Amino acid sequence: MSTGSFFKVLLIIILFSSKASAELTIEITRGVDNPTQIAVVPIQLDEVLPSVDISAVVAEDLLRSGLFEAMPRANMLSNPDDAKQVYFRDWRIVGMEYLVVGKATRQADQRIQVTFSLLEVPGERRLFTQVVQGTDNELRDIAHYISDKVFEAITGIRGAFSTRLAYVTATPGGGGLTFRLMVSDADGARERLMLESREPIMSPNWSPDGKELVYVSFETGRPAIFRQRLMGAQREQLTNFRGLNGAPAWSPDGRSLALVLSKDGNPEIYSYNLATKKFTRLTRHFSIDTEPNWTPDGKAIVFTSDRGGSPQIYKLQISSGKIERLTYTGSYNARPRLAPDGRTMVMVHRNKGVFHIASQDLVTGDLRVLTSTSLDESPTVAPNGAMLLYSTKVGDKGVLAAVSIDAGVKYLLPSRQGDVREPAWSPFLR
């Protein structure tokens, strides 16, 4: 990433479709040293596996967190579907700490009901039993729901397996690249093509309810910001000023956007009220101000600026207009994103000429480099604050990578076709 790419114009869009052939794959590269041992017993429907193997999805979710090691099915001596059928001694002998059991039944309305339990093996006790229902098309949703509940019960951290990802793929062909804006489950499954263009696509950003994306498109002959619903593909053009219209970021309450406009000269940070359609200029400086992102309470914006001579991160208080510099370590810090606690900030940080993803404690000021890959960019934080995604290079291919905030867990999400870039992690979905 060069200083020029730091100020690059954002492009985007054109075609909506319901699905695409390529999917992300998961390659876990590092987990914790002593992962929690768990067995997820196959959940069957009418004595056969349902169309989606619910238990396999749960096991894969937990494995992907890096905190768990799931017992292979071939090693299971029994397949209980209820806590009353469990002989804890057998599972304790093989080293299991937790056990997930459950059964699925077809209801009169044809919905599938899954009853599942989490059992603690050493204490020989049931931690909880829950019931969840859904249609045949919602079996992956049911699986991710189970994963969330199990993960939270064991770790104390809300699970984020039911969230979604937006990202961009770039596939060669026809004498150039085809760019596609994709949306998928957090594990890369059920990938959907949202936008397609022969021009680059960048910086998707989720609405707080997870039902819309904002982006920038050059389809009008100049960069313009659009919002688009995921269902139905309704679109609305929000800007059409001369110069730069870029980097839209939704406010936590869903009422405003922060964005970058150069209509008055230099690129500056503005807010845009989605109801009144009013723009309010927030920064006034001869430097370039860009890449705004809201604090979780919606009272401030962090952004990147070269007003100090090199790209650094600043914080703007909306009510007072007060601006303070947040980063001092290193000559380059950009693309700030805040964890839900509002205290941890992740960013692109240049260290010895190499671009990595780093986190900074905004209370102590401590900065920690989280990645060991190179050309790392575009960090996005999971809504539970436990993991972050970013784009990087492996060989000559662009891939997505994930790392935990403590840098203890890492995995890759390469695409089976082309490069992957510009990830955006959705909020929790209601």
Convert the pLDDT of each residue in 179-218 to its tens digit. Answer: 888 999 999 999 998 888 888 788 899 999 999 999 888 7
For residue 69, give the nearest of 44, 88, 93, 94 by alpha carbon.
Answer: 94
Q: Has this prediction a pTM greater than 0.85?
A: yes
Contact 368, 357 (CB under 8 A): no
Phi, psi of 260 (to 5 degrees): -115, 125
The contacts of residue 171 (CB under 8 Å, 6+ apart) are 22, 177, 178, 180, 417, 418, 419
For residue 362, give the nearest of 379, 342, 380, 348 by alpha carbon.
Answer: 342
For residue 95, give the nearest of 151, 38, 46, 57 by alpha carbon.
Answer: 38
Domain annotation for the chain: domains and CATH numbers: 3-24+164-425 (2.120.10.30), 33-155 (3.40.50.10070)
The CA distance from 252 to 423, in Å, is 19
- Tokens 């969840």: give the residue: 132
For residue 411, give the nearest of 378, 389, 381 by alpha carbon.
Answer: 389
- Tokens 């960048």: give the residue: 202
The contacts of residue 47 (CB under 8 Å, 6+ apart) are none
The half-sphere exposure of 326 on its side-chain side, counting CA atoms within 13 A, is 31
What residues does 64 pair with on adjacent strands? none
Per-residue model confidence as pLDDT tens for the chain (430 residues): 433 433 332 222 222 233 334 468 777 788 778 999 999 999 988 777 778 899 999 999 999 998 999 999 999 989 999 999 999 999 999 999 999 999 999 999 999 999 999 999 999 999 999 999 999 999 999 999 999 999 999 999 999 999 999 998 889 988 888 888 899 999 999 999 888 888 878 889 999 999 999 988 877 778 889 899 999 878 899 998 999 999 999 999 999 999 999 998 899 999 999 999 999 999 999 999 999 999 999 999 999 999 999 999 999 999 999 999 999 999 999 999 999 999 999 999 998 888 999 999 999 999 999 998 888 999 999 999 999 999 999 888 899 999 999 888 898 888 877 899 999 999 999 7
The CA distance from 7 to 370, in Å, is 24
